[in-house]
Amino acid sequence: MTAVANIVILTGAGVSAESGIATFRGPGGLWEGHRVEDVCTPEALARDPALVHRFYDLRRAAVDAVAPNPAHHALARLDAAWPGELLIVTQNVDDLHERAGARRLLHMHGELRSALCAACGARHAWHGALPPATRCPTCGAPALRPDIVFFGEMPYEMERIEAALARADLFVSIGTSGAVYPAAGFVRAADAGGAATLELNLERSAGSAWFDETRLGPAGVLVPAWVDGLLAS
């Protein structure tokens, strides 16, 4: 492999699962007992705001009961030590990367600890319950909603992600299904730019064939070992 200076890392539900956070789709295609269409679409929010807000209130509370695992800590260690460009793009809406110490990080699907004003677009750090019709501290409208990218909405900071992928020497996907776009297409974008590509996953993903290399196992084992090897080189 050519010399690595710039790295883009994509993390998914498989990283946080080892901390005890439920993965996106459980048995029967349900998300923590709910159909995705009932809790993660703009239509669901309009149809039953109380259900959607309560669902994310419970998820926000659940994050308080878990802690970062060795995969989160290893990526934070890489973030602190890596001299080149590094961007951790997470599909996860928890704050476990931040609590482990990662700083060069963006949440493409939003954050549980953030509230978004549907009226003015302002974002506010948020802890605790977020009832429907909560007023925005910026504009006063009763329009705060969970700052989560619902199905049918554009993920955050795509231009920044695409620019980082174009500059990357190495793209690493950790704990993702390879089935949710646009993130599932990142490996091909990185490959088109000449980057080496590596997948670290519990099992082969829907996009495994696009990677130069796939390593299978728990993120809490694979990620620290990969970070140790990269920093040693």
Reduced to 3 states, what is the DSSP secondary structure of residue 106?
A: strand
Nearest to 126 by CA among 220, 59, 37, 177: 59
Query: Within 13 Å, how many C-alpha atoms sit on residue 201's CB side?
Result: 22
The answer to whether 127 is a known catalytic residue is: no
Cβ atoms of residues 190 and 8 within 8 Å: yes
Q: Is the dihedral of CA 21, 24, 26, 32 positive or negative?
A: positive
- Cis before 182 (ω within 30): yes
Cβ atoms of residues 230 and 3 within 8 Å: no
Ordered alpha helix ranges (H), 18-83: 36-39, 42-47, 49-63, 70-81
Cβ atoms of residues 107 and 93 within 8 Å: yes
Sheet holding 144-148, edge to edge: 123-125, 110-117, 144-148
Catalytic one of 72, 97, 107, 109: 109
Query: Residues with catalytic annotation?
Result: 109
